[in-house]
Amino acid sequence: MNTLPSRTFAQKYHLKFVFWLILIVFLLLISSNITESDLLAFFQGDSIQQFGVILGKMMKPDWSFFPRIWEPLLETIRMALVGTLVGSVIAVPVAMLSASNVTKPAVVRSITRFISNLIRTLPDLLLAAVFVAIFGFGPFAGILTLIIFSFGQMAKLLYEAIETIDKGPIDALETAGANKVQVIAFAIFPQVLNTFLSNFLYTFEVNIRSSTVIGYVGAGGIGMLLQTVIKMFRYDQAGVIILAILVIVVLIEFLSNYVRSKLT
């Protein structure tokens, strides 16, 4: 007769799960105390009531405001597209210099990897605020922010993809006397092209969302309009903007996932 395997005391009473749950709650309470934040503030006073009032206004969108959001919405998409495209193009040579199977000197690889790692640590909002202070309000500051973000992300994803390619075509071309440019063009890039396009589409998705957020600090796009209507307490108009952003993000994500599925 088959018998069930015996379980340890910890498995029987799920002690591992209980331990991690207690640890997470403890760390949450410690973090709340250090940051002097009250986790129960949302449930105290009229916070929930005020939240309900704002949500209720957003749930009754002012559709007459809809024609005014088209231009800022298209500007947001253009910002994301230009930022992703330029940043990805700049990332290609840096990724080549960062890949160990393309660039032999470890010093060069270390420098280029350090630069891309450093750029990825810079928050989008910080970059946007700096560029707005330098160049003023508008999409140019947002595009520069997205270029830097796209460069950092694409450089890392691309050089990691390059390091996993089949070395056979590279050795064959080098044996035939091909130079470095020819090896990159005919042995390396064809192997990572699909990965590059897939990562490009993913970065474009992320930039659509990011361009909305950085617009809130004056870097152009729909975020600037959203900030304006919220300052005017026009939550009904904010509801229209949020719904439009949601539809655009979902459509772009769907199209991006479809194209990426065809590339793999």
Report yes or no on 50 lying in a domain.
Answer: no
Residue 259 has what pLDDT? 78
Task: Please tell me the total count of domains within the chain.
Answer: 1
DSSP 261: H
Residue 9 has what pLDDT? 52
Residue 163 makes CB contacts below 8 A (sequence gap 6+) with 99, 100, 101
Tokens, residue 109: 């690889």
Report yes or no on 241 lying in a domain.
Answer: yes
Range of the domain at 137: 68-263
Give the Å distances, CA to CA, from 63 to 90, 226, 232, 241: 41, 15, 17, 10
Residue 116 has what pLDDT? 87
CATH of the domain at 184: 1.10.3720.10
pTM: 0.78
User: What is the full per-residue pLDDT of the chain (264 aa) written as tens digits?
Assistant: 455 555 555 555 566 777 788 888 888 888 877 877 766 666 666 767 777 888 888 888 888 888 888 888 889 989 999 999 999 999 999 988 888 887 878 888 888 889 888 888 888 888 888 999 998 888 899 999 999 999 999 999 898 888 888 888 888 887 888 787 888 888 888 888 888 888 898 898 888 888 888 888 888 888 888 888 888 888 888 888 888 888 888 888 888 778 777 766
Report yes or no on 5 lying in a domain.
Answer: no
3-state secondary structure of 217: coil
Residue 13 has what pLDDT? 54
CB of 213 closer than 8 Å to CB of 41: no
Residue 122 has what pLDDT? 86
CB of 128 closer than 8 Å to CB of 142: yes
Report yes or no on 14 lying in a domain.
Answer: no
Report yes or no on 251 lying in a domain.
Answer: yes
Residue 88 has what pLDDT? 93
Report yes or no on 248 lying in a domain.
Answer: yes
Give the Å distances, CA to CA, from 57 to 13, 45, 70: 47, 20, 21
